[in-house]
Chain A
Amino acid sequence: MSNTQKKPLLEVQDLKQHFPIESGFLFKRQIGAVRAVDGISFNVNEGETLGIVGESGCGKSTTVRSISQLHKPTSGSVIFDGVDLVNAPTQQMLDARKNIQMIFQDPYASLDPRMTVRTIIAEPLEIYKKRGMLDASFTKRAIEDRVEELMERVGLNKAFKNRYPHEFSGGQRQRIGIARALALNPKIILADEPVSALDVSIQSQILNLLHDLQKELGLTYVFIAHDLAVIEYISTRVAVMYLGKIMELSRSSDLYKNPLHPYTKALLSAAPIPDPEVERKRKRIILTGDVPSPNKERFGCYFYDRCPYRMEKCKSNIPPMKRVDENHEVACWLYE
Chain B
Amino acid sequence: MTNSPSQKTQEKLLEVKGLKTYFKTDAGIVKAVDGISFTLERGETLGIVGESGSGKSVTNLSIMRLIPSPPGRIVAGEVLFEGKDILKLSESALRHIRGNEISMIFQDPMTSLNPFLKISTQMIETIRLHQDISRKDALEKSIEMLKLVGIPAAEERVHNYPHQFSGGMRQRVMIAMALSCEAKVLIADEPTTALDVTIQAQILELIKDLAVKLNTAVILITHDLGVVAGMCDTVCVMYAGKVVEKAKTDELYKNPAHPYTFGLIQSVPRLDKAQDGKLFSIEGQPPNVIDLPDCCPFHPRCHKVMDICRTQYPPTKDIGGGHEVSCWLFADQKEHSDE
User: Known interface pairs A272-B224, A275-B229, A276-B253. Does A226 touch B197 (Cβ–Cβ under 8 Å)?
Assistant: yes
Chain A, interface residues (CB within 8 Å), range: 35 or more
- Asked if A232 and B264 sit within 8 Å, CB to CB, the answer is no
Q: Which residues of A contact B154 (CB under 8 A)?
A: none
Q: Which residues of B contact A256 (CB under 8 A)?
A: 271-272, 274
Q: Which residues of A contact B301 (CB under 8 A)?
A: 201
B45–chain A nearest beta-carbon distance, Å: 12
Q: Which residues of A contact B166 (CB under 8 A)?
A: 290
A256 and B166 alpha carbons, distance in the complex (Å) = 29
- Asked if A55 and B229 sit within 8 Å, CB to CB, the answer is no
Q: Which residues of B contact A280 (CB under 8 A)?
A: 230
Interface-forming stretch among A25-33, A203-211, A322-330? Answer: A203-211
Q: Which residues of B contact A202 (CB under 8 A)?
A: 51, 285-286
Is A133 an interface position by the 8 A CB rule? no
Q: Write out, one digit per residue, whether chain B residues 201-225 have a CB within 8 A of any chain A CB (1) or not (0).
A: 1101100000000000000000111
Is A318 an interface position by the 8 A CB rule? no
B200–chain A nearest beta-carbon distance, Å: 7
A284 and B205 alpha carbons, distance in the complex (Å) = 10
Contact of A273 among B205, B263, B272, B278 (CB under 8 A): B272
Q: Which residue of B lies closest to A56 (CB)?
A: B196
Q: Write out, one digit per residue, whether chain A residues 275-305 have a CB within 8 A of any chain B CB (1) or not (0).
A: 1111110001011101100000000000000
- Asked if B264 and A55 sit within 8 Å, CB to CB, the answer is no
Q: Which residues of A contact B226 (CB under 8 A)?
A: 229, 271-274, 279
Q: Write out, one digit per residue, whether chain B residues 17-33 have a CB within 8 A of any chain A CB (1) or not (0).
A: 00000000000000000
Interface-forming stretch among A11-19, A112-120, A262-270? Answer: A262-270
B150–chain A nearest beta-carbon distance, Å: 9
A278 and B230 alpha carbons, distance in the complex (Å) = 9
Q: Which residues of A contact B205 (CB under 8 A)?
A: 284, 286
- Asked if A273 and B270 sit within 8 Å, CB to CB, the answer is yes
Is A228 an interface position by the 8 A CB rule? yes
Contact of B268 among A226, A274, A279 (CB under 8 A): A274
Is A167 an interface position by the 8 A CB rule? no
- Asked if A267 and B197 sit within 8 Å, CB to CB, the answer is yes
The 10 closest A-B pairs by CB, nearest first: A272-B226, A233-B269, A270-B201, A204-B267, A55-B196, A274-B225, A201-B282, A199-B51, A279-B230, A204-B281
* Contacts from B to A (Cβ < 8 Å): 51-52, 166, 168-169, 196-202, 204-205, 223-230, 249-250, 253, 263-265, 267-272, 274-275, 278-283, 285-286, 301
